Chain A
Amino acid sequence: MTLRGIAGYWMVAGFLLLAAVPFMQGRYVAIYGTQLIPVLCFAILALGLNVILGYTGLLHLGIAAFFGIGAYVAGILSTSGFPFGASFPVVVVVATLAAAAIGIATTAPTLRLRGDYLALVTLGFGIITVSVIRNLDAITDGTKGLTPVRPNFLPGFDDPVFDKTRPGWKDTWRGYPRLYFLCLAVLAGVVIFLRNLERSRLGRAWVALREDELAASCMGLNPARLKLSAIALGAGLAGLAGALFALSQDGTTEPRAYGFERSMLVICCIILGGLGNRPGVLLGVFILVGYDQIATPMIDNWMQEKKLNPNGKEYLKVSGWRLCIFGVALILMMRFRPEGLLPAARLKRELHPERDEVAGEAAAKLEAEDRGQRTEDRGQRTN
């Protein structure tokens, strides 16, 4: 309980810190701030997968496909090659709903599958989606991707032009720092929404379904509907994240960005941070994606500046070793802290019963009582 409370405070503090980033002094603040925007998108994506994987326990290996669907819906609705020219709210809502609908449509036929089999189907779905995007030239523009994604902020109004008050600040709402603030606000909204959802009837039903499907259906829970609702919400959040991502990259980028590697990275974020636990998932994203996209180039630059790697040799660059470091870190993590950095209270109890003092005491007491009862029974029988 206290651990969770602390995690809650840290989360508020973390959000305030992130909100303060654009106002910091420094040569590179604007550059790193800009790079943080996709990290915020990945955080929304990871929270979406956490609904499916963390709450409901469905191993979905193709979450990045929904991310891609969101991005391409944003592209189709706003690039000049199409007649839509939709505004930002329309783009976001349609991307979310489209991803959720495709999530439901692709999951409904597989509802009877469990565990490994579901994982295989979702893996296939992820791979097929990327292939379709790459080969559907007429709509998706193949490997080039759709660009530029520049919707109006509000329908029927011209976009406001902002003053460039600080170095690196752009004058449009689609640039740093307005988009940064926008993504941060959306992320905060998603976090609050999920917090309330976790405590709701639906949230508890998901957890019960994850714990035991047979028992859950004996309690009157409809497993099919619960699984579909989890997939719909998870895929919808992934679509929302994808739309924001496309906006931040001013295009859908190449289809590969929505492939298996991205799905795996998101799963790793969740497991590293703490399956099923919102603050943990966010921490995992900021550590892993932050390391991937911000820390490694930062260290490389620093080494270049300090003349540690004057010739720019590949094998001396951290970025060349980043996947290797990542793999070793994951192995160490699984060995020493399988429940993640900030685990959900329930999962922690299960993986480390010996650390849970209250539980340990309870178990000891239990045993003693059982023994007491037995002697009592024996006493009665002899009487």
Chain B
Amino acid sequence: MSAAPQAPAPGPLLKVENLEAGYGAINVLHRLSLYVDPGEIVTIIGANGAGKSTTLNTVCGVVKTRAGRIHFDGRLLTGTPAHDVVRLGLAQSPEGRKIFPRLTVRENLEMGAFTRRDPEGVREDIQKSYQMFPILEKRQAQPGGLLSGGEQQMLAIARALMSRPKLLLLDEPSLGLAPQIVVQIFDIIKELNQKQGMSVLLVEQNARMALKVAHRGYVLETGRITVTDNAAALLHDPRIREAYLGE
């Protein structure tokens, strides 16, 4: 395991230890451990069915933890239901975007700030997300379901940011998008990290794109972390290149 970019003073923002979770009789995750330091983009790459989405869903409380511990921002997160996790500063943009299709773009953003009680701040943040994603302002009165795939992904990210999270969980933001839109989305993720210092845990099948923006990466195979390293190192690791980068 390589050292984090800087020595984290108060410890990692998210720390997952020996996590086990699954569905029914099947355990999907086997003693999975990872951490995210403040200001880091960390990516989990892996094939279909490796357990990437299950990892995120377990961290944010949608899937139950069977064993192991999750610490977030110095608090034990294990067993906290999904709707309370948001209040602690952990926002998820779920797989498949999950826009509210009949709510307008603006209403979608407002729902993202559901846990907040400061209407003034929410309004300001909506303006901020319009600055970040000008297309959303143009579409603000349209129902979310009528947006194109790329716009929906932008809306999903903007919506997740509306809760002012400390850590953003992104599940397959490239899913079903045209290549140039994927580039755009990843530029946004990078910008979020560099300009606002947002910490991101990114789950991706598109390993090349993910490793290009991330600081560190984990490779997940059938529920186990098999390799972890600096993203740049992973990008040049011959095994990874062969298995996940198609070379």
Residues of B with C-beta under 8 A to A219: 83, 86, 111-112, 114-115, 159, 163
* Complex CA distance for A353 and B93, rounded to whole angstroms: 27
Q: Are B146 and A363 in contact (CB under 8 A)?
A: yes
Name the interface residues of B60-115: CB closer than 8 Å to any CB of A: 60, 62, 81-84, 86-87, 91-94, 98-103, 107, 110-112, 114-115
Q: Say whether A205 contacts B114, CB under 8 Å.
A: yes
A218 to B142, CA, bound (A): 22
Asked if B142 and A362 sit within 8 Å, CB to CB, the answer is: yes
Q: Say yes or no for A377: interface residue by CB 8 A criterion.
A: yes
Q: How far is the CA of A95 from the CA of B145 in the complex (A)?
A: 41
Number of residues in B with C-beta < 8 Å to the partner?
37
For A201, the closest partner residue in chain B by CB is B114
B190 near A: Cβ within 8 Å? no
Q: How far is the CA of A370 from the CA of B143 in the complex (A)?
A: 19
Determine the chain B residues whose CB is within 8 A of the CB of A222 once the complex forms.
81, 83
A305 an interface residue at 8 Å Cβ cutoff?
A: no
A220 touches B102 (CB 8 A): no
Task: Look across to chain A and name the residue whose beta carbon is closest to the beta carbon of B98.
Answer: A215
Number of interface residues of A (CB under 8 A): 31
Q: Decide if A218 touches B148 in the complex (CB within 8 Å).
A: no
Is B180 located at the chain interface by the 8 A CB criterion? Answer: yes
CB distance from A382 to the nearest CB of B (A): 14
Given A205-B114, A212-B100: A359 touches B142 (CB 8 Å cut-off): yes
Does the CB pair B103–A211 fall under 8 Å?
Answer: yes
A359 to B142, CA, bound (A): 8
Q: Is A223 an interface residue (CB 8 A)?
A: yes
- Contacts A350-B145, A359-B142, A373-B180 given; does A215 touch B86 at CB 8 Å: no
Expressed in whole angstroms, the minimum distance between the Cβ of B36 and any Cβ of chain A is 18
Q: Mark A344-378, 1 if CB is under 8 A from B, else 0.
A: 00110110010000110011001000100110010
Contact of B94 among A208, A215, A347, A350 (CB under 8 A): A215
| Cα A215 to Cα B159 with chains together (Å) | 10
Shortest CB distance B158–A (Å) = 13
Whether the pair A220, B100 counts as a contact (CB closer than 8 A) is: no
Q: Is the CB of A220 within 8 A of B87?
A: yes
| A90 at the binding interface (Cβ < 8 Å) | no
User: Are A215 and B148 in contact (CB-based, < 8 A)?
Assistant: no
List CB contacts (< 8 Å) of B146-161 with chain A: 146-148, 151, 159-160
Q: Is A214 a contact partner of B83 (Cβ separation < 8 A)?
A: no
- Tell whether A221 pairs with B114 under 8 Å between CB atoms, given A363-B146, A374-B180: yes
Residue B224, interface by CB 8 Å: no
Say yes or no for A166: interface residue by CB 8 A criterion: no
Note all chain A residues with C-beta closer than 8 A to B142: 358-359, 362
The closest CB in chain A to the CB of B57 belongs to A214
Taking a contact as CB atoms under 8 Å apart, the answer to whether B98 and A204 are in contact is: no
A370 to B112, CA, bound (A): 27
- Distance in angstroms between the alpha carbons of A350 and B146 in the assembled complex: 9
Instruction: Give the shortest distance, in Å, between B241 (CB) and chain A (any CB).
Output: 24
Q: Are B91 and A346 in contact (CB under 8 A)?
A: no
Contact mask A325-361 → B, CB, 8 Å, 1/0? 0000000000000000000001101100100001100
Cβ-defined partner of A217 (8 Å) among B62, B145, B151? B62
Chain A residues lying within 8 Å of B62, measured Cβ to Cβ, are 214, 217-218
In the assembled complex, B215 has its CB within 8 A of some CB on chain A: no
What are the residues of chain B within 8 A of A214 when measuring CB–CB?
62, 94, 98
Let me know if B31 is at the binding interface, CB within 8 A.
no
Taking the complex as formed, is B212 at the interface, i.e. its CB lies under 8 A from any CB of chain A? no
Which A residues are in CB contact (< 8 Å) with B178?
Answer: 370, 374
Indicate if the CB atoms of A218 and B86 lie closer than 8 Å.
Answer: yes
A93 at the interface (CB under 8 A from B): no
- Could you say which residues of chain B place their CB within 8 Å of the CB of A208? 100, 103, 111, 114
Cα(A359)–Cα(B102), bound, Å: 12
Which residues does chain B contribute within 8 Å of A358, judged by CB atoms? Answer: 142
A257 neighbours in B (Cβ, 8 Å): none
Residues of A within 8 A of B (CB): 201, 204-205, 207-208, 211-212, 214-223, 346-347, 349-350, 353, 358-359, 362-363, 366, 370, 373-374, 377
Given contacts A208-B100, A359-B143, A373-B180, 17 further A-B contacts (CB under 8 A): A204-B110, A212-B101, A214-B98, A215-B94, A215-B98, A215-B99, A217-B62, A217-B82, A217-B83, A220-B115, A221-B114, A222-B81, A349-B102, A349-B143, A359-B142, A362-B139, A374-B180
Q: Which 6 residue pairs spanning A and B have beta carbons closest together?
A: A220-B86, A215-B98, A346-B102, A220-B115, A211-B100, A217-B82
- 11 pairs from A and B in contact (CB 8 Å cutoff): A208-B103, A214-B94, A214-B98, A216-B100, A217-B83, A218-B82, A218-B86, A219-B112, A219-B114, A350-B102, A366-B147
